[in-house]
Amino acid sequence: MHLKVKYLFVFFFFLTVCGISLYSCKHDPQPVPLPKPDSISLLKPCDSTKTYFVNDVMPYINATCAIPGCHDHNSPTAGIDLSSYEAIMNSKVKGKPIVVPGDPINSKICRVLFLLDLIPMPPLYNFPIPVEGRDRIVNWVLEGAKNDACEYIGDTSRFMYRHDIRPLIYKYCTGCHFGDYASDSILLVTYDQVKYYVDKKKLLESITGSDSVVRMPKGNAAMQPSEIIRIRKWVESGAPLN
Ligand code: HEC
């Protein structure tokens, strides 16, 4: 009798463990393993001389490359899935990894950004990765292509459109919101287009998350708190073209 109870206990314990693991699989919403907002403060502050995958690289890839029909998890064109760190590191072209840590020249992910093989990525009709983003990707490979993140403590006293806001929109948003196939037909390229969504109370709201607007950037970590503060200050000051 005593033994039976013991077996029953073990059996139910096993069931519970299975249940918990199934439950957590189903509720895994993000393709990228990213810090939750409340754990972000546990990260080390960013060292401005280094490049971090989560902060500096993935936002560009998420907005420009890992999009439906290109290299997201469901449509990995040419077998290349760029939707997460693991997927990027496991992607190969002709059997060769697209990222060779420490060696950007032999890393396809860098070569395509500089037309070294005459195949431009993203293709010409897409929004290109801004120069700053390309530099970040090259430096990330050069520094060993690690999966790391940091807490970015940016200067929030500056929030000029051209200098501070537009680079953030280009980094996090424009890749998906550009051209004929823009997500949701929403364009975020020119000042007027961005301002249109500020006036519709959708720009800041989509970034900070509100009940009535889908949270952006879709499929990736939220912007860093200090980046959001800059956008908020700019919007609250009337979103000028400065
Ligand atoms: C990976 C692609 C992708 C990125 C990156 C992205 N968006 Fe979106 N966005 C979408 C899609 C797709 C929709 C349509 C809503 C949906 O399908 O959930 C959308 C919808 C929106 C909407 C309308 C939301 C609503 O509920 O009306 C706004 C505003 C928006 N995006 C702004 C942004 C901003 C600002 C950024 C950058 C911080 C951004 N998006 C980054 C794909 C993206």
Which amino acid is present at 97?
P
Based on its alpha-carbon atoms, the radius of gyration of the chain, rounded to whole angstroms, reads 21
Find out whether the beta carbon of 145 lies less than 6 Å from any atom of ligand 1: no
Q: Which of 100, 64, 107, 105 is nearest to 82 (CA)?
A: 64
Look at residue 156 in the predicted model and tell me its pLDDT. Answer: 92
- Please, what's the largest Cα pairwise distance for the chain? 80
Look at residue 20 in the predicted model and tell me its pLDDT. Answer: 42
Look at residue 41 in the predicted model and tell me its pLDDT. Answer: 56
Centroid of ligand 1 to alpha carbon of 203 (angstroms): 9
Find out whether the beta carbon of 127 lies less than 6 Å from any atom of ligand 1: no
Taking the C-alpha atoms of residue 177 and residue 127, their distance in angstroms, rounded to an integer, is: 9
The residue whose CA is least distant from atom 9 of ligand 1 is 183
Pocket test for ligand 1, best of 218, 223, 228 (most atoms within 8 A of CB): 218
The residue whose CA is least distant from atom 31 of ligand 1 is 216
List Cα–Cα distances, 88 to 3, 8, 145, in angstroms. Answer: 50, 44, 10
The residue whose CA is least distant from atom 27 of ligand 1 is 213
Q: Which numbered atom of ligand 1 lies nearest the CA of 67?
A: 1
Find out whether the beta carbon of 28 lies less than 6 Å from any atom of ligand 1: no
Look at residue 152 in the predicted model and tell me its pLDDT. Answer: 87
Taking the C-alpha atoms of residue 124 and residue 181, their distance in angstroms, rounded to an integer, is: 14
List Cα–Cα distances, 217 to 12, 56, 80, 138, 239, in angstroms. Answer: 41, 14, 21, 23, 20
Find out whether the beta carbon of 214 lies less than 6 Å from any atom of ligand 1: yes
Mean pLDDT, the chain cut into blocks of 10 residues (242 residues total): 55 47 39 49 86 96 93 94 96 96 98 92 92 97 96 90 97 94 94 98 92 88 91 97 97
Look at residue 143 in the predicted model and tell me its pLDDT. Answer: 98
The residue whose CA is least distant from atom 35 of ligand 1 is 203
Find out whether the beta carbon of 64 lies less than 6 Å from any atom of ligand 1: no
Residue 78's region, left for phi above 0, alpha for psi from -120 to 50, else beta, is left
Look at residue 10 in the predicted model and tell me its pLDDT. Answer: 53
Look at residue 105 in the predicted model and tell me its pLDDT. Answer: 97
Look at residue 5 in the predicted model and tell me its pLDDT. Answer: 53
Find out whether the beta carbon of 197 lies less than 6 Å from any atom of ligand 1: yes
Q: Which numbered atom of ligand 1 lies nearest the CA of 59?
A: 5
